[in-house]
Amino acid sequence: MLTKTTVTAIRALVHIGLNRHGEPLSVRRIAAALGESPTYTAKVARRLARAGVLRVHRGVLGGIELGRPADTITLLEIVEACQGTILADFCQKTTTLAGTCAFHVASAELHQAIVGVLARWTVAQLVRRPTRSGLHRLSVPCLLSPQAGRHRRRPARERRPVTAAASGERSRHPAR
């Protein structure tokens, strides 16, 4: 449901929210902390700035910071800034659910639930507990962890060799 851009936006906002110094952070610094490219991180930041979620400061000492207090920035705003308005799949256009089919009612309930949950969660809540805790600390991967964006390249000994079939060559041995 959430795109890579949305997840990166959430991760960037949590990183900015954890900045206790109060000064704007450079996109390059945020990108390095998230393990993302500076170009991609700048694209995500532009979307958030257009939506008023981030404030941009230009110049040598510039950077980005939260546009408002973290407890007023909802996940709904972030998702809509990155993915557009959340729409539901309805079978007909209507202003009331009376007389509609069961699928239409289920779609309306699903839409209300998704929008409700996203509107209820804020960046401040994510900043309060940005990493795993307790039993899940080692077993459950966390999208907010700094390592989530890092793409680990396997060492040569772990890489699979290119086979004749994968390279497009015909095999000299018939299939068994």
> Could you give the domains of the chain?
4-132 (1.10.10.10)
What's residue 60's pLDDT?
82
What's residue 35's pLDDT?
92
Between CA 2 and CA 92 the distance in angstroms is 26
Q: What's the whole-model pTM score?
A: 0.75
| Intervals of the chain under pLDDT 70 | 90, 92-94, 131-142, 145-176
**Nearest Cα to 144, choosing from 1, 17, 20?**
17
What's residue 22's pLDDT?
76
What's residue 102's pLDDT?
85
Residue pair 75/10 in contact by the 8 Å Cβ criterion: yes
